[in-house]
Structure 1
Amino acid sequence: MSPAVPALRVTDPAAFGRVAVLMGGTSAEREVSLDSGNGVLAALRSRGVDATAVDGIPALVDAIRAGRVDRVFNILHGNRGGGEDGVVQGLLEALGVPYTGPGVLGSALTMDKIRTKQVWIAEGLPTPRFARVPAGGDLAAAIATVGLPAFVKPSCEGSSVGAARVVAESDVAHAVEVARAYGGEMLVEEMVVGDELTVAVLGDVALPSIRIVPAGEWYDYNAKYLADDTQYLCPGLEDAEERAIGELALAAFNAAGCSGWGRVDLMRERASGRLLLLEINTAPGMTSHSLVPKAAAQLGIDYAELCWRVLEQTVEVASA
């Protein structure tokens, strides 16, 4: 059974005022953000919204100071100049400008995969076993603790940036080099053998899950944004399992202090059928290969309507 999607709360594009579509920035995910942002910009304009592209946080500050922005559609990705780490959210809160996506707490927490896992564990929510490696720490020892196979990835990056697979002892040296290149805290996570799934959250609704079947061994940057041979099965599960994954995704999203919209990534362990939480994306990709538009389309919500539904959450509608 498909989730119930509420009626649109806003029907007049003028209600949004002047919308800055915040994209690009200076994070490692700049190019993906520009691709997403241009899609969102075209979609909003197609529905009559007065939307303008703004590249990065300094340009956004200038536009706000000049009185050209009433609200922000944030499609920056990543941290350090990206818009998913709570920094731009805090800025907009201080300036009184409404924006899409989770607030300061949810954004800052979920940018950090390790701290997000710690919150989930405290809430009794399932996640693969892992080890934290501080900058300059003994990555090889952490891998030995977690066991093989394992993933090594920066705690505060997205889009599979800087991720390494360690399936044999011979892979450890490469993982160490990857960690050294990034220089920050690293997450060593048990590699779950099974199905990779994702659930988009829109308001209080979990959209149909998507099961991702890459042509290669794993769902890396190329499979996410470049390849055309990755399969996306939606819904990814059936009946009781589909309801269970939606409920778990909403519980994980709420536990992390998130609201608005986002995407929860999970694994289903092949041997046991257990669902395990991986991470949350608070400004998910909106490119032609992206997952949230695919899930929304399953409910008859096209790309332009999806962008509208995300944006309308920034508008306070007076109760009757």
Structure 2
Amino acid sequence: MEPERKPLRRHTSFQHIPIMKIIVLLGGESAERRVSLASGEAVAQGLAARGHEVYKVDLVDPVRLVPARVPLFNEAVGERPPDLSEIPRFTPRRLAALMETLDRQRPDLAFPMLHGGMGEDGRLQAALEMVGLRFVGSGSLACGLAMNKPLAKRLFLSAGVLTPATLLVERDWLHDVAAVSEAIHGRFGFPVVVKPEASGSAVGLTIVREPELLADALKLVAGLGSQALVEPYVFGRELTVTILGREALPPIEIRPHGGVYDYYSKYTKGHTDYLCPAPLTPEQSDRVMDLGLKAHRALGCRHYSRVDFRLREDGEPFCLEANTIPGMTATSLVPKAAAAVGLTFEDLVERLAWMAME
């Protein structure tokens, strides 16, 4: 039986937190690199503002230790993700160099702010676990489960959390548009959502309303070197729930002006409205928060996560995914949810750092 969730309380700043040496890990090699750079810069600045000794390390240049005050990235995230061919690869040699940097610097903890790729799929977390370095966020197993969306969906269902049906399109099937279209018709019909099996920030996501548009959506996913996940489109409202520690924060409703919460809508200021707390009935709000906690626990997440939902027109919530390293940019959702319970951005990142030290 799930423990009863206590009434949400207003949060206040921590007192008497010792000064820590913290290395923020950011950048990386995925299509979400620019989002990671923006998130990592914000986290480093927030921790430094509280007096901590903070440095940044970009995973593609792991021997370079950058003080928090020196900007690595001070641009907008941009309207579209970068071309993967322009991003250096994170090789085993770079991983070894990163471990040497961390061993030489001896930080109190690492603060991963990597989105997608090996920085969020559990591989980086496994390396940190092997060397015994404390770090913020979920461990390697939970990160791997969350990034494997088909497997995560099975765990959601086992925990009593509804999630849309799924058709997994393997790489060698992506070019057989007719076969995929036939499978969609046989499973759930159009419209559908097509997205990479293991990615975030809406990179490669397409809402396909007609079969004639399927080929372009599959080609987009193929270009990312990924398998495709196809789900029936859930008509309704877009919601997200932040989990902080053992609590669910107030749900946020997301209303993109263009109708689709894609990469452009996520990271272009003024193109999406965020309602926090979401205009829900108390019963709806409590239910979505409880389901968010169940999804978080089903994956074994710790410290924090963000769980995304579609609230169907009949009021039934469907969990889309859980994010183990959610964004911390100027338009990100976790800081907005934290602000709704009285936490400044500096409060939030320092609280996460302290959770990792407990």
Task: Identify the TM-score tier after normalising by the shorter chain.
Answer: over 0.9
Residue of structure 2 equivalent to 1:32: 35
Give the distance between the partners of 1:20 and 1:5, measured in 2 at CA.
29
Kept in 2: contact 1:101–1:260 (CA 8 A): yes
Aligned-partner SS, 2:193: strand
Residue of structure 1 equivalent to 2:357: 315
Aligned-partner SS, 2:318: strand
Aligned-partner SS, 1:65: helix
Residue of structure 2 equivalent to 1:12: 17
Give the distance between the partners of 1:171 and 1:266, measured in 2 at CA.
25
Say which of 287, 297, 316 aligns to 1:254: 297
Give the distance between the partners of 1:179 and 1:276, measured in 2 at CA.
23
Residue of structure 2 equivalent to 1:54: 57
Kept in 2: contact 1:139–1:176 (CA 8 A): no
Residue of structure 2 equivalent to 1:143: 184
Sort the Cα spacing of 1:241 and 1:290 in 2 relative to 1 into closer, same or farther, 3 A. same
Give the distance between the partners of 1:135 and 1:224, measured in 2 at CA.
27
Give the distance between the partners of 2:246 and 2:334, measured in 1 at CA.
15
How far did residue 122 of structure 1 move?
Answer: 2.7
Q: Does 1:228 align with 2:270?
A: yes
Kept in 1: contact 2:181–2:211 (CA 8 A): no
Aligned-partner SS, 1:76: coil
**Unmatched tracts of structure 2, length 5 or more:** 1-5, 63-97, 174-178
Residue of structure 1 equivalent to 2:145: 109
Aligned-residue RMSD, C-alpha: 1.7
Residue of structure 1 equivalent to 2:117: 79
Residue of structure 2 equivalent to 1:196: 238
Give the distance between the partners of 1:154 and 1:118, measured in 2 at CA.
17
Give the distance between the partners of 2:338 and 2:297, measured in 1 at CA.
20
Say which of 60, 67, 79 aligns to 2:105: 67
Cα deviation code 1:194-234 (max 9, x no counterpart): 00000000000101100000100210001101131311011
Give the letter aligned to residue 244 of structure 1.
R
For structure 1, which segment, 200-209 or 3-12, has the greater mean C-alpha deviation from structure 2 after superposition? 3-12
TM-score under structure 1 length normalisation: 0.92
Identity over aligned pairs, percent: 39
Kept in 1: contact 2:27–2:60 (CA 8 A): no
Kept in 1: contact 2:14–2:347 (CA 8 A): no
Residue of structure 2 equivalent to 1:173: 215
Sort the Cα spacing of 1:142 and 1:159 in 2 relative to 1 into closer, same or farther, 3 A. farther
For structure 1, which segment, 305-314 or 58-67, has the greater mean C-alpha deviation from structure 2 after superposition? 58-67
Aligned-partner SS, 1:136: helix
Give the distance between the partners of 1:10 and 1:120, measured in 2 at CA.
36
Moved over 4 A (4+): 5-10
Give the letter aligned to residue 18 of structure 2.
P
Aligned-partner SS, 1:212: strand
Give the distance between the partners of 1:268 and 1:164, measured in 2 at CA.
19
Say which of 224, 241, 245 aligns to 2:288: 245
Sort the Cα spacing of 1:108 and 1:10 in 2 relative to 1 into closer, same or farther, 3 A. farther
Kept in 1: contact 2:192–2:232 (CA 8 A): yes
How far did residue 124 of structure 1 move?
Answer: 2.9
Kept in 2: contact 1:98–1:314 (CA 8 A): yes
TM-score under structure 2 length normalisation: 0.83
Residue of structure 2 equivalent to 1:122: 158
How far did residue 65 of structure 1 move?
Answer: 2.4
Give the distance between the partners of 2:10 and 2:137, measured in 1 at CA.
18
